[in-house]
Amino acid sequence: MKTQVLLSAILFLLICPKGFSSTKEVTNQPDSVYLFSYATTKDHNTRGLHFAWSIDQKYWHSIGPEYGYVKSDFGRWGVQKRMIDPYLMQDSDGLWHCVWSLNENEKAFAHASSQDLVDWKRQSYPMVEQGNCLRPVLKYNPAQKLFELTYVSSQNKYYCLSTANFKSYTPVKEVPSDSYVNSSKQITLAEGICTGQVHRVAWTVVDKLIGAYERKQYNEALGQERTEQDADRFADLKPVEVTVTVEKEKAKPISDKLIGIFFEDINYAADGGLYAELIQNRDFEYALSDKEGNDPDWNSTHSWRVKGENSLFSIATENPLHPNNPHYALLEVKSPGASLVNSGFDGIVVKKGEKYDLSVFTKQIAGKGGKVLARIVDKNNQVVAQATLNVSTAGWKKQQSVLTATADAANASLELQPLTPGSIGLDMISLFPQKTFKGRKNGLRADLAQLLADLNPRFVRFPGGCVAHGDGIHNIYRWVNTVGPLEARKPQRNLWGYHQTAGLGYFEYFQFCEDIGAEPLPVLAAGVPCQNSAVGGGGQQGGIPLCEMDNYVKEILDLVEYANGDAKKTKWGKVRAEAGHPLPFNLKYIGIGNEDLITDLFEERFTLIYNAMKEKHPEITVIGTVGPSFEGTDYKEGWELATRLNVPMVDEHYYQSPGWFINNQKYYDSYDRAKSKVYLGEYAAHLPGRPNNLETALAEALYLTAIERNGDVVSMTSYAPLLAKENHTQWNPNLIYFNNEEVKPTVDYFVQQLYGRNSGDEYLPVRLAVSNQRNEVKNRIAVSVVRDSKTNDVIVKLVNMLPVSVRTEVNLNGLETGRLNGTKTVLTGSPADKQVRPTTESIQATSNLPCNLPAYSFTVIRLTHSAK
């Protein structure tokens, strides 16, 4: 298999030694041929639209075979994105239109158009009022410039509508069966009998289709470059020599915010993770609907149980603590002795001598008021801390106490034992270490937060990712639900299949940013939810109804007021001040949208928000979105929209193989500096099996040298995702893994840290002279030199992803003057190593800075300005 991959890559390189060219020199090509468009039922109809061509309609050549030129974007992840019975036709202007059926039940069809069958425009999913839409057929009436769509329902009724633009159409009417004329044919291809349409097209159309397919194959072959092939790939390679010349006269300013962090509540990153609360389901709001699968235990009682006899534990909803928090625990105690027990998130960890704030809202419902004994009990039933709390007889009241642990315990639980008979209500049962990051109340787990601070991030993006735009419009993350008293915040289902308390809310995010000196970068939904949302609300992802958009836009404007408004003169500034922060948080950036499909629904809503922000808050940099990939329809249309609206920055996302990062270092070199700036908001190198190791880390380090080189157009980057709790992980790889007791930064973390701690704001271009001329060799060596104007230090980053050492000399061109002292930090090991850590030594700079880069290494040399 290894050899096969290598061979196919070599084959491609031999075919296309100097870049890719699809057009072969063939002199007797036909002027026109037959083109067959079809789809198969494979993988639940998700493989998209395929093509085959023929000179004579007898012998067919399928392209790919079965290469998907356009795939359906409708519906949930994976198998639900189906393209059934696509029907392709060309209008009189030469534009191709494809309609297809989405699934067996949908009262909607899909439409997409293309000039050349290679690049497809955004898809739309018009809803129809009658029948589910099966086997659609499209015809064009050029005189009227109208398309007529007929389809069949599963009741075998025939319907018809006409439309000029696939946005609005005449009412759907039932038609006789003979109005439905489907010209699809069955063609026997090598892969079997397929149904589709036959068109007569110019050969150039087919040539372009073949070219697009071959280009994709070529790029994919490059992307498969992996270090495990290096023994073959670089079999005879001798150590390489590189001379680097710094061209300081060509210095250019670059962003000083290149390295930031992406925080999303995925993998238990918030509750049970960064948010230091020790009690799981403290609000009794876990619900079956939090999870997609059938998990009967995921309900209001999750993580709670009763230990002992003569007491009944149930969930009540009558007269709750707050309408946003409708469930609470009802304990009916016949005779005292039993306790309500919480097992925490995989147990509760306490440390000897440390203090824990316990708070509980209590209410005596029947019987006389009494007390509750609160105890932290270890797994051997030993009490490690205890206190008593009152039960309020006059409605809900917060009771508080401090518990001091007398011993360490890793798997403890909290027990609440009523000391008198009667019925009591309990809610918002919270146990919080006093030792949080910077000692903040309702704060963050100190070790995890410190690890984030140690990255020296220049910004923090929050609250996601997909969590920001949510699973359906009712699951959009609304900032306003996450501020104010904890009991009044609105918890909700987390799209990753668990529960969000909103205890870590916008106030806490802003506070954390301030605490670590990073810019806050909230990302809000563009009025549309995640593109993989459960279907509903107008087809595909749906969108907030336009009649509600004014309120939604206002909510976004209010966020700016909440962050920056005067504490005395503005409504939201006052709310912030009441929460303990009278001074503004100095919000400068807002992201609108998260890798959304660029649909009409999206564009309409994004434009409303963007225009309002531009008018009311021109001081805020709005960051738009350009889809989930470095290419494709959403990428192109997202960029077109951003350019049209003059959006200052856009958010790009791509998770790719190390080979992709190695072979795409020039990605930003040709970006137009006059258009929007780039925030590379989500990226990571993904290997099969998704490990983090030195190979992924070095691929990222290599690529980041190119980002620094393009730091005049790329303003910010953040690796994603950030955090993952062991045994609660929905996504790999992540930057940091953790459990209740340990934090486990990955190798990729150290690359981010080396960049975060060694960033600059001026880029000093370099010229490389490499002793080996093979592109594959040169692609594995990268250098970036920056200057940090605050310290006047010069930083040289050198990446060697080769299996041999690289001897470098860096001609500093006088930059060494006054910067003779420095440090050299090296991260090196074998590519599969997951545990390598950087080591640092002091060095003295010379004018040629000789340096040996070990095989598979990342070296950072920091030359300190002596006047510091």
Mind telling me the catalytic residues?
A: 595
* Options 192-200, 207-215, 461-469, 833-841: segment touching ligand AHR (CB under 6 A): 461-469
Q: Which residues contact 460 (CB under 8 A, 6 or more apart)?
A: 260, 261, 263, 452, 509, 512, 513, 516, 518, 519, 520, 521
Residue 650 binds ligand AHR, judged by CB under 6 A: no
Min separation Cβ 801 and ligand AHR, Å? 25
Binds ligand AHR by CB under 6 A, chosen from 682, 695, 748, 776: 682
* Options 54-62, 138-146, 159-167, 464-472: segment touching ligand AHR (CB under 6 A): 464-472
* Cα 269 from Cα 354, distance rounded (Å): 24
Alpha helical stretches, state H, 334-453: 446-453
* Cα 482 from Cα 23, distance rounded (Å): 57
Min separation Cβ 681 and ligand AHR, Å? 8
- 602 CB burial (10 A radius; 0-12, 13-18, 19+): buried
Tokens of 309: 């006899």
Q: Which is nearer to ligand AHR, 266 or 701 (CB)?
A: 266
Determine the distance from the C-alpha atom of residue 279 to the mean position of all C-alpha atoms in its chain, rounded to a whole number. 27
280 touches 412 (CB < 8 A): no
Min separation Cβ 595 and ligand AHR, Å? 5
Binds ligand AHR by CB under 6 A, chosen from 212, 254, 466, 622: 466
Min separation Cβ 737 and ligand AHR, Å? 15
Residue 721 binds ligand AHR, judged by CB under 6 A: yes
Q: Which is nearer to ligand AHR, 409 or 720 (CB)?
A: 720
Residue 656 binds ligand AHR, judged by CB under 6 A: no
Q: Which is nearer to ligand AHR, 230 or 682 (CB)?
A: 682
Q: How many CB atoms within 10 Å of residue 672?
A: 9
Q: Which residues contact 204 (CB under 8 A, 6 or more apart)?
A: none
Alpha helical stretches, state H, 372-453: 446-453
Residue 630 binds ligand AHR, judged by CB under 6 A: no
Residue 624 binds ligand AHR, judged by CB under 6 A: no
Min separation Cβ 302 and ligand AHR, Å? 24
Q: Which is nearer to ligand AHR, 82 or 653 (CB)?
A: 653
* Separation in Å, CA 77 to CA 73, 81, 142, 180: 9, 7, 38, 33
Q: Which is nearer to ligand AHR, 86 or 721 (CB)?
A: 721
Q: Which is nearer to ligand AHR, 48 or 591 (CB)?
A: 591
Tokens of 288: 């079956």
* Options 364-372, 373-381, 462-470, 481-489: segment touching ligand AHR (CB under 6 A): 462-470
Residue 720 binds ligand AHR, judged by CB under 6 A: yes
Could you give the angle at the alpha carbon of 261 between the alpha carbons of 258 and 267, nearest 5°? 155
* Cα 4 from Cα 770, distance rounded (Å): 30
Q: Which is nearer to ligand AHR, 180 or 731 (CB)?
A: 731
Residue 464 binds ligand AHR, judged by CB under 6 A: yes
* Options 48-56, 422-430, 459-467, 534-542: segment touching ligand AHR (CB under 6 A): 459-467
Min separation Cβ 594 and ligand AHR, Å? 5
Min separation Cβ 503 and ligand AHR, Å? 20
How many residues make contact with ligand AHR (CB under 6 A)?
A: 12
- 96 CB burial (10 A radius; 0-12, 13-18, 19+): buried
Q: How many CB atoms within 10 Å of residue 786?
A: 26
Task: Provide the strand spans (E) within 367-421.
Answer: 371-377, 383-390, 397-404, 409-418
Q: Which residues contact 591 (CB under 8 A, 6 or more apart)?
A: 461, 468, 521, 522, 523, 524, 622, 623, 625, 651, 679, 681
Min separation Cβ 313 and ligand AHR, Å? 36
Determine the distance from the C-alpha atom of residue 163 to the mean position of all C-alpha atoms in its chain, rounded to a whole number. 37
Determine the distance from the C-alpha atom of residue 429 to the mean position of all C-alpha atoms in its chain, rounded to a whole number. 32
Q: What is the CA radius of gyration of the chain?
A: 30
The candidate with the shortest Cα–Cα distance to 239, out of 827, 802, 850, 832, is: 802
Min separation Cβ 477 and ligand AHR, Å? 11
Which residue is at the shortest CB distance from ligand AHR? Answer: 465
Residue 522 binds ligand AHR, judged by CB under 6 A: no
Residue 731 binds ligand AHR, judged by CB under 6 A: yes
Residue 594 binds ligand AHR, judged by CB under 6 A: yes
Binds ligand AHR by CB under 6 A, chosen from 595, 596, 634, 637: 595
* Cα 84 from Cα 98, distance rounded (Å): 11
Min separation Cβ 672 and ligand AHR, Å? 25
Find the binding residues for ligand AHR in span 345-364 (CB under 6 A).
none
Min separation Cβ 339 and ligand AHR, Å? 39
Residue 593 binds ligand AHR, judged by CB under 6 A: no
* Cα 606 from Cα 525, distance rounded (Å): 9
* Options 130-138, 418-426, 460-468, 762-770: segment touching ligand AHR (CB under 6 A): 460-468
Per-position x/- string for 537-576, each x denoting binding to ligand AHR as judged by CB under 6 A, each - no binding: ----------------------------------------
Residue 283 binds ligand AHR, judged by CB under 6 A: no
Q: Which is nearer to ligand AHR, 508 or 595 (CB)?
A: 595
* Options 145-153, 458-466, 607-615, 795-803: segment touching ligand AHR (CB under 6 A): 458-466
Residue 470 binds ligand AHR, judged by CB under 6 A: no
* Cα 163 from Cα 142, distance rounded (Å): 12
Min separation Cβ 598 and ligand AHR, Å? 15
Residue 264 binds ligand AHR, judged by CB under 6 A: yes
Helix, strand, or coil (residue 199): strand
* Cα 335 from Cα 314, distance rounded (Å): 17
| Single-letter residue type at 752 | Q
Helix, strand, or coil (residue 274): coil
Q: Which residues contact 166 (CB under 8 A, 6 or more apart)?
A: 111, 124, 126, 147
Residue 628 binds ligand AHR, judged by CB under 6 A: yes
The candidate with the shortest Cα–Cα distance to 531, out of 582, 595, 616, 457, is: 595
Q: Looking up tokens 């075919």, which residue turns up? A: 15
Helix, strand, or coil (residue 554): helix
Binds ligand AHR by CB under 6 A, chosen from 75, 196, 465, 648: 465
Residue 429 binds ligand AHR, judged by CB under 6 A: no
Min separation Cβ 467 and ligand AHR, Å? 6
Q: Which is nearer to ligand AHR, 281 or 594 (CB)?
A: 594
* Cα 520 from Cα 511, distance rounded (Å): 9
Q: Which is nearer to ligand AHR, 718 or 828 (CB)?
A: 718
Q: Looking up tokens 């518990």, which residue turns up? A: 403
Q: Which is nearer to ligand AHR, 283 or 637 (CB)?
A: 637
Q: Which is nearer to ligand AHR, 443 or 721 (CB)?
A: 721
Q: Looking up tokens 């059926």, which residue turns up? A: 101
* Options 143-151, 463-471, 498-506, 660-668: segment touching ligand AHR (CB under 6 A): 463-471
The candidate with the shortest Cα–Cα distance to 477, out of 465, 467, 489, 462, is: 467
195 touches 38 (CB < 8 A): yes
471 touches 530 (CB < 8 A): yes
Q: Which is nearer to ligand AHR, 35 or 735 (CB)?
A: 735
Contacts with ligand AHR, residue ranges (CB under 6 A): 264, 266, 464-466, 594-595, 628, 682, 720-721, 731
